[in-house]
Structure 1
């Protein structure tokens, strides 16, 4: 199993589960202008978990990759919100610098998802 596939399976499975086990930290990063914070956290957790599990099987890998990429796009506003309001997240080590550094990191995650699920290499296995 490639690094990209392991990362996609394990990281998104763990994060998806954490959305249900400890939803409060995820609720805190949902921008205020969005309604139903708890429901959005559960929805994003479910899509992360489903996408991760789908990425593990060749028949569902492509659909799982698209689901994870859509989820990364969908939660990106929360990352922007955090970077724009670092004072609301004093528990984050490194403060504003860390929150800003997370923004391009999401693109690295998207690349790993693509490599694990949508690339020619991923489809061949």
Structure 2
């Protein structure tokens, strides 16, 4: 009984809201661990997807390699960078390694930037259509900057 003489929800057999939950608040997942933010999930999906495509379509990445790198190293470097990008995704998804994942992701994006510059200087990619043009290569350059910022923000905030 309550102080006013009425029955509590438990005594009357009624349902009680779960402790710590409010309407519209899903709360932590059943495991009790916090879910990654949309920011983390988005960057992890982008890095993981890009990493996987290094194995599904390696020739597309081989042609982006700077001219200064010997051709026999293109495929091993393509696969290696794919492994690093998948690793970045995994590190971002794990709460304990997320900050390091943000750092490694930013470093990876900075490391591949010279290949994008070389693509511009060489006149684009050796593929037909607008996507292989020098104009498309120039337009891709500034896209790296928000991705680097995104990774560094995850590093700073931890998610």
CA RMSD, 1 decimal: 1.7
| Aligned length, in residue pairs | 121
- Give the distance between the partners of 2:141 and 2:129, measured in 1 at CA: 14
CA pair 93-33 structure 1, distance change in 2 beyond 3 A: same
- Matching residue within 44, 60, 79 for 1:25: 60
1:18-73, Cα deviation, whole Å (9 max, x unpaired): 10111111001101211311111111111110011110111011111121111111
For the pair shown, the structure with the greater C-alpha radius of gyration is 2
Displacement of 1:84 in angstroms is 1.2
Among 94, 97, 118, the residue aligned to 1:57:
94
Q: Please state which structure has a larger fraction of its residues in helix.
A: 1
8 Å CA contact retained: 1:82, 1:89? no
Structure 1 residue runs of 4 or more that deviate by more than 4 Å after TM superposition: none
Shift of 1:87: 4.8
How many angstroms apart in 1 are the aligned matches of 2:142 and 2:37? Answer: 22
Deviations 1:64-101 (A, max 9, x none): 11211111111111100111122543435252222111
Q: Is the Cα–Cα contact under 8 Å of residues 50 and 82 in structure 2 kept in the other structure?
A: yes
Ranges in structure 2 where 5+ consecutive residues have no aligned partner = 1-35
Q: 1:44 — aligned with what?
A: 81
Distance in 1, Cα, partners of 2:97 & 2:106: 14
Residue 143 (structure 2) pairs with residue 105 (structure 1) = yes
Structure 1 residues 88 and 99, CA gap change in structure 2 (3 angstroms): closer
TM-score computed with the length of structure 1 as normaliser: 0.86
Q: TM-score, normalised by structure 2?
A: 0.69
